[in-house]
């Protein structure tokens, strides 16, 4: 089978990391894989992609109506020329573009939603078109059971829950005893503004601790000003993107996820896999399906600074609690080990392929009722 995978770009992101693992798995299974991205051939590539993948970088990353029309046109050209049997599209806007580009072509299409559709703030017209587009999908992959509520009843029979694969970490924390680490794109979704304010309130009670935030994004200047306003430039450090995937693990003693919303936070799974004690907001979606409060992690309500302050005080001030959370973190991450996750992908693809040949997919493959846990 020839499988095409569509993504926006090949930089440092959770979807890109999942695609790198999927591409390698498909290639090892003797599937032909074409990876299509809208970025340019000279743009940075962060993750390691299997050399057997055929990379097609379209060089049409501009937004707006004309930019999106060009994306659809170039994507359709590539699909008509390459003639894959199946297209997997990743990320919300790409799903709509894929729906239009595949119209009338003999290609099965699986849409992969990677975030919280309720919180992304897309144009209402875009959302309305996407609801219509999803009716044409052969399957819609989401990462948690809770996200099912975001989809209209007309397409819920096509939903399939497949969590992200979290490979066991080959990196381990180098115990410094004093680094609280957060990781993610520097935008409002990740709640770093809340985290900085919360850390400022506990900093004097835990003078040995520093907060290191890894990532880049549009809110960097605002976050820098916020740090300066708290007079904590020596205690709160914006580190940029780590030189290698997961490199931040070696410099972490406690991991914190402060997000307002998520789809499935890969970095949380990576922190658990590395055996780090974690604090995470119980946001929609993901954290509550990835860990159990007080057992293998510490959950706090999202967008409640006082609750985050309390959690930071509790975890940073209690070495025994940190040790207990860390000792059970790895077991929590085992639920997302790649072999089991990839087997779900294989079952789904086989079901969709059978449907394309005139058969009917088995209900468990497309019903989306498999719990993450």
Radius of gyration, alpha carbons of the chain: 21
Q: Quote the mean pLDDT of the chain.
A: 92
Dihedral sign (CA 268, 90, 84, 136): positive
The CATH number of 2-165+338-367 is 3.40.50.2000
Q: Is residue 171 scored above 90 in pLDDT?
A: no
- Whole-structure pTM value: 0.88
79 with 108: CB under 8 angstroms?
A: no
Chain segment 272-290, per-residue pLDDT in tens: 999 999 999 999 999 999 9
3-state secondary structure of 213: strand
CATH 3.40.50.2000-classified regions of the chain: 2-165+338-367, 179-335
Q: Which of 113, 169, 117 is nearest to 137 (CA)?
A: 113
Continuous segment of H or E residues that includes residue 332: helix 319-333
Q: Cα-flanking dihedrals φ and ψ of residue 84, to 5°?
A: -70, 150
User: What is the pLDDT at residue 365?
Assistant: 44
Task: Let me know: does 120 contact 347? Beta carbons within 8 Å.
Answer: no
Q: Report the candidate in 46, 42, 73 with the shortest Cα–Cα distance to residue 57.
A: 42
Which pLDDT score is estimated for 366?
A: 46
Q: Which residues of 178-200 are buried (b: 16+ CB within 10 A; e: fewer)?
A: ebbbbbbbbebbbbbbbbbebbb
Position 21 confidence tier, pLDDT thresholds 50, 70, 90: very high
**For domain 179-335, which architecture applies?**
3-Layer(aba) Sandwich (3.40)
Whether 360 shows a pLDDT value over 60: the answer reads no
Q: Give yes or no for residue 315 having a pLDDT over 50.
A: yes
Is-contact 360 278, C-beta < 8 A? no
């Amino acid at each position: 089978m020839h499988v095409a995978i569509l993504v926006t770009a090949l930089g440092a992101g959770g979807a890109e990391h999942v695609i790198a693992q999927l591409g390698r798995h498909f290639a090892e299974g003797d599937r032909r894989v074409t990876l299509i991205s809208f970025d340019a051939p000279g743009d940075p590539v962060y993750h390691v992609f299997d050399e057997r993948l055929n990379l097609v970088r379209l060089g049409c990353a501009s937004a707006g109506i004309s930019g999106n029309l060009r994306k659809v046109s170039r994507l359709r050209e590539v699909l008509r020329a390459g003639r894959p049997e199946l297209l997997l599209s990743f990320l919300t806007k790409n799903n709509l573009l894929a729906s239009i580009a595949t119209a009338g072509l003999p290609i099965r299409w699986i849409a992969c939603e990677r975030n919280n559709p309720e919180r992304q703030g897309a144009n209402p017209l875009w959302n309305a078109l996407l609801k219509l587009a999803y009716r044409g999908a052969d399957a819609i992959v989401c990462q948690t059971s809770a996200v099912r509520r975001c989809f209209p009843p007309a397409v819920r029979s096509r939903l399939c829950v497949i969590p992200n694969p979290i490979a066991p970490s080959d990196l381990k924390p180098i115990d410094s005893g004093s680094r609280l680490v957060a990781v993610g794109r520097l935008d409002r979704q990740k709640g770093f503004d809340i985290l900085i304010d919360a850390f400022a309130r506990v900093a004097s009670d835990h003078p040995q601790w520093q907060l290191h935030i890894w990532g880049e994004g549009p809110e960097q200047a605002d976050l820098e000003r916020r740090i300066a306003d708290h007079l904590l430039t020596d205690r709160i450090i914006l580190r940029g993107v780590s030189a290698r995937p997961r490199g931040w693990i070696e410099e972490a003693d406690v991991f914190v996820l402060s997000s307002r919303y998520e789809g499935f936070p890969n970095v949380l799974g990576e922190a658990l896999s590395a055996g780090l004690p974690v604090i995470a907001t119980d946001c929609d979606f993901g954290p509550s399906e990835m860990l159990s409060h007080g057992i293998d992690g510490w959950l706090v309500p999202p967008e409640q600074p006082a609750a985050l302050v309390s959690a930071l005080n509790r975890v940073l001030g209690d070495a025994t609690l940190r040790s207990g959370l860390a000792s059970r973190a790895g077991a929590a991450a085992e639920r997302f080990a790649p072999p089991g996750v990839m087997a779900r992908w294989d079952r789904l693809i086989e079901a969709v392929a059978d449907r394309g040949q005139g058969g009917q997919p088995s209900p468990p493959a497309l019903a989306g009722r498999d719990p993450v846990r």
